[in-house]
Chain A
Amino acid sequence: MSLLELDNVTLAFGGVKAVDRVSFAVEEGEVFALVGPNGAGKSTIFNLISRFYSPQEGDIRFDGHSILDLAPEDIADLGIARTFQNVELFEQATVLQNLLVGRHRHRRTRLWQDILFTPFVRREEVRHRIAVEKVIEFLELEPYREKYIQGLPYGVRKMVEMGRALAMEPRLILLDEPASGLSVEETQDIAFWIEDMRKLMGITVVMVEHDMNLVRDVSDRVLALADGRVLAVGTPREVQTDPRVIEAYLGPEEDVA
C-alpha cells in the first residue's frame, strides 16, 4: 500500500482547472518530486493534501484512509508536515518558539496544567525542547535560536520553516520549492538534508522544485505537470527526456521567441 495516493483529483477555480484528474502514488521512504511550469497546479496539489482546498472530484488517501473527511487542523496529527512557497512563519516570535509550535501535535498537557506550569508541563517542555534542539543542530540554526523571525535573511527563514516541519516528527513532509531563492551552496545543503531526512529520519518527502539539478540529485521519482494535468511519471531521467515534458517546457518559450 502506498503512503499517499491521489486518485483522479480535480479542482477548478472558476473556469480554470488548476488540477485536472491527477492520480499518483507516493511510496513510503521515497523522495518524490513534482515539477512543471508556473501555474501547473503544483502548490494547489499541496493545498489539497493539506485540506486547505477540497477536490471537486476524486479521492486523496493517506496510509490507506481517505483524508477528505478531515479538517486542515487534523492533517498534522496524521504526521503530514509542510512548508509554504511564500514562507509562512510566526513573525513576531523567535526561531525557537516557531519550532516549538511544530511540536503542537505532540502536546499532552491541558490548559489548567499550562496555567499552573505543573511539573508535568515542565517535563513535557524539556521533552519538546530536546526534540527541537536536534532539529536546530541538524539544520545548523544555532546562531539564530533566540532571534525574532522578522529580521532574518530569506535563506534562514526557509531553513526555519523546514525546521518547524521537521520538529513535527512527520511521516511525510511536503516541501514547496525548498531551494527557490537560495544560493548554490544553500541548495547543496538542501540536497544533503533531504537525503538525511529520508535515510536517518525515515521521512517520506514530496517536493515541488524548479531546480532540475536538485530534483535529479535527490528524487527517486518525478511527476511532471502542466495545466493541471499529469504529463509523465518516472525516474528523473525518464521524465526529463519525455517528449511531452520537453514540449511543455519549451513550447511557451518558442511562442515568446
Chain B
Amino acid sequence: MRIVFKTSHDADIRLWKHGAQLFWYLLLLAAAVALPLLLDDFMLGEATNVLVWAIAGMGLMLLVGHAGQASLGHAAWLALGAYADTLLQTRAGLPFLMSLPLAAVISGLVAALVTLPIMRLHGIYLAIATLALSVLTEDIIILAEPWTGGVSGLFAPDIEIFGINFNRYTNPDGLYWLVLAITVLITLGYANLLRAPTGRAFVAVRDSEISARAMGVHVARTKTLAFALSAAVTAVAGALMGHMAGVFNNETFNIVISIYLLMMIVIGGLGSIHGAFLGALVIGFLPQAIALLRSALAGALGIGSITIPGLETAIFGAILVAFLLFEPRGIYGRWIVIRTWFELFPFYRRDMFRRQRSYLKTERMR
C-alpha cells in the first residue's frame, strides 16, 4: 500500500495526492493532446464527442454526485446552451468566444430562477419536477418558433475564433483540441471547487442537510448555486453539441438524452469527476461496440444484417440496471476497490467499502 507522508498543508490541498498520480495525469493529458496523430478523422470525431459528453457529465455530476440533488431533465440545459449560443452568434452577431460563456451564464441564471420554487423538493419529487422541466423545454422550443425555428430547427454556424474555422469535417483536429481545452478548463475549475469551501458545502448538503444547517451552510442557497453551476456547465456541452450537429431542433435534446446523461454518471461512478469521464467513454463508444457486436452476430448466424429498433436504449438500460444491482459505485468505485485490493494484498477485508447510505436520500429530521 502506498503510504503518503504529508509534511505540509499543501500536500493536502494540491490536486494530486502523490508524485505518481501527477505523472499519470500529465501522461493522460499528453496522450489526449497527441490523439489527432493517432486516430483517423472518424474516430477523432468520436473522441471529440466523448469529451463533449464528459463536459455534460461533469455538469450533472456536480448536481447529482456532489450536491446530491436529482435531475431527470438536464437535456433542458443542453438545449438552452445550444439555442442561446447559436442565437447569440446569428442574431446578436457575437463571436464564439463570447457567445459560449454568455450561453453558460444565461443558463445558470435561468436555472437559478427556475429551481427556486422546486428547491424544497426532495428525491423522487425533485426528479419528477426536473423531468417536467425537460418536457416543458421541448414545448417552449416549438412555441418560440420565430426564435428557435420550431420543429424545423436551427442551423448552428461553424465555430470561428480569430478567423480560424473549426468545422468538424474540414478541421477535425482543431475542433478536437478546442473541445479538449474547454474540457480541461472545466475539469480544473470543478476540481478546484471541490477542494474549496463551496465544494465542501455541496457535499455537506448532499450528506446531511440538517447538520449542514447547523454548520451555517445556507442549504437553499447552496442548492440554487449547485443547480446554476450545473446548468452552466451543461449548457457549454449543449452549445458544443449544437455546433457539432450543425442543425438541431426540439428533438435533439429530448428526455431520452436526459436519461442517458443520468445513466452515464451512475455507470461512471457518482461523486467523482473521474466518473463523468468513464461514463462518457461508455456512452460514446457503446454504439460502436453494439455495431461491432451486431455485424459479428450477423456473420455468425449467416444472415445479412440485424436491425432491432431501440436496441441501443435497451442495452443502455440493461447496463444501468446491472450497475445499480451489482456495483452502485460505478466503474470508478469498482476501480478503487480493485486498486485497494492490490495495494493491500493479502489484507483486504470484504466489508471495507460497505455502503451505508445512498446518494439520493431524502432529508431526515432529528
Instruction: Give A residues with C-beta under 8 Å from B.
Output: 43, 47, 50, 52, 72-77, 81-82, 84-86, 88-93, 96-97, 100-105, 107, 109, 111, 113-117, 121-122, 125-126, 129-130, 133, 150-151, 164, 168
Picked from A91, A96, A117, the residue with its CB within 8 Å of the CB of B12 is A96
A126–B225 CB distance below 8 A: no
Q: Give Cα A109 to B198, complex, Å.
A: 9
- Given known pairs A52-B210, A75-B216, A92-B206, the reply for A150 and B356 (CB within 8 Å) is yes
Q: Which of B135-143, B187-195, B339-347 is near enough to bind chain A?
A: B187-195
Task: Chain A residues near B354: list those with CB within 8 A.
Answer: 150-151
Find the A residue at minimum CB distance from B197: A107
Among A43, A89, A97, A114: residue with most chain B CB under 10 A = A114
Q: Give Cα A94 to B84, complex, Å.
A: 40
A114–B208 CB distance below 8 A: no
Chain A binding site: helix, strand, loop or mixed by DSSP? helix
Task: Chain B residues near A105: list those with CB within 8 A.
Answer: 215-216
Task: Chain A residues near B351: list those with CB within 8 A.
Answer: 151
B200–A97 CB distance below 8 A: yes
Question: Interface size class for chain B?
Answer: 35 or more
7 A-B pairs (CB sep. < 8 Å): A88-B211, A90-B207, A97-B200, A104-B215, A109-B197, A115-B192, A164-B211
Q: Give Cα A84 to B208, complex, Å.
A: 12
Find the B residue at minimum CB distance from A116: B192
A101–B213 CB distance below 8 A: no
A114–B215 CB distance below 8 A: no
A73–B219 CB distance below 8 A: yes
Task: Chain A residues near B240: list those with CB within 8 A.
Answer: none
- Given known pairs A101-B204, A150-B357, the reply for A90 and B198 (CB within 8 Å) is no
Interface members, chain B 161-216 (any A CB < 8 Å): 189, 192-193, 195-201, 203-204, 206-208, 210-216
Among B198, B225, B352: residue with most chain A CB under 10 A = B198
Q: How many whole Å from B226's CB to the nearest CB in chain A? A: 11
Find the B residue at minimum CB distance from A150: B356
Picked from B193, B208, B217, the residue with its CB within 8 Å of the CB of A73 is B217
B211–A90 CB distance below 8 A: yes
Task: Chain A residues near B217: list those with CB within 8 A.
Answer: 73, 101, 104
Q: How many whole Å from B20's CB to the nearest CB in chain A? A: 17
B203–A97 CB distance below 8 A: yes
A125–B215 CB distance below 8 A: no
Task: Chain A residues near B352: list those with CB within 8 A.
Answer: 151
Task: Chain A residues near B197: list those with CB within 8 A.
Answer: 100, 103-104, 107, 109, 114
Task: Chain A residues near B366: list those with CB within 8 A.
Answer: 43, 47, 84-86
B216–A115 CB distance below 8 A: no
Among B9, B354, B355: residue with most chain A CB under 10 A = B9
